Amino acid sequence: MSGTARWPLAGAIALLALPLALSDFWLFIAIEVLAFALYAVSFNVLLGYGGMLSFGHAAFFGVGGYAAALLMKKTGLSAGAAFALVPLAAMVASAALAAVTGFFSVRRSGIYFAMLTFAFQMLLYTVALKATGLTGGDDGMTGLRPPGVLAKPLAYYYFALALVAPALYVLYRLVNSPFGYTLRALRANARRVQYIGVDVRAHQLAAFIITGAFAGLAGGLFALSNGNVFPGWLNWTASATPIVMAVLGGVHTFLGPALGAAVYVVLEVLISGKTEYWPLAMGIIILILVLLMPEGLTGLAKRRAA
Partner 1 sequence: MIDSFLQQLAWLQNPVVVARQLLAGVSNGMLLFLICAGLSLIFGVLRIINFAHGALFMLGALIAVSLTALAPGASASFVAALIGATAGLAVLGAALETGLLRRIYRAPHEFQLLLTFALVFVLGDVAKLIWGREDHSVSVPAALDGSMRALGLTFPNYRLFLIVVGVAVAVGLWIVLHRTRWGIFVRAATMDRDMLSALGVNTRRLFTSVFAAGAALAGLGGALAAPIVAVGPGLHVQVIIDAFVVVVIGGMGSVLGALVASLLVGIVNAFGVLAFPGLAVVLTFAVMAIVLIVRPWGLFGAPE
CA atoms of 246 and 259, how far apart (whole Å): 9
Q: How far is the CB of 123 from partner 1 (least distance, A)?
A: 4
> Looking at the DSSP assignment, which residues form a beta bridge with residue 141?
229
Q: How far is the CB of 287 from partner 1 (least distance, A)?
A: 5
Q: Is 38 exposed, middle or buried (0-12, 13-18, 19+ CB in 10 A)?
A: buried
CA atoms of 38 and 40, how far apart (whole Å): 6
Q: How far is the CB of 171 from partner 1 (least distance, A)?
A: 19
Q: Tell how far CA 79 is from the center of its chain.
A: 25
CA atoms of 84 and 185, how far apart (whole Å): 38
Is residue 227 within 8 Å of residue 142, measured between CB atoms?
yes
Q: How far is the CB of 294 from partner 1 (least distance, A)?
A: 7
Binding residues vs partner 1 (CB under 8 A): 47, 53, 55, 104, 107-108, 110-112, 114-116, 119-120, 122-123, 126-127, 129-130, 236-237, 240, 243-244, 246-247, 251, 277, 279-280, 282-284, 286-287, 289-291, 294
Q: How far is the CB of 65 from partner 1 (least distance, A)?
A: 20
Q: Hey, how many other C-beta atoms are within 10 angstroms of the C-beta on 72?
A: 24
CA angle 278, 234, 47 (to 5 degrees): 85
Q: How far is the CB of 189 from partner 1 (least distance, A)?
A: 15
CA atoms of 77 and 81, how far apart (whole Å): 6
Q: How far is the CB of 101 from partner 1 (least distance, A)?
A: 9
DSSP count for the chain of H helices, then E strands: 13, 0
Q: How far is the CB of 264 from partner 1 (least distance, A)?
A: 13
Q: In Å, what is the CA distance from 16 to each residue of 22, 62, 142?
A: 12, 28, 30
Give the HSE-up count for residue 21: Cα atoms under 13 Å, Cβ half-sphere.
6
CA atoms of 217 and 212, how far apart (whole Å): 9
Q: Which is nearer to partner 1, 80 or 283 (CB)?
A: 283
Q: What is the amino acid identity at position 118?
A: F
Q: Which is nearer to partner 1, 70 or 286 (CB)?
A: 286
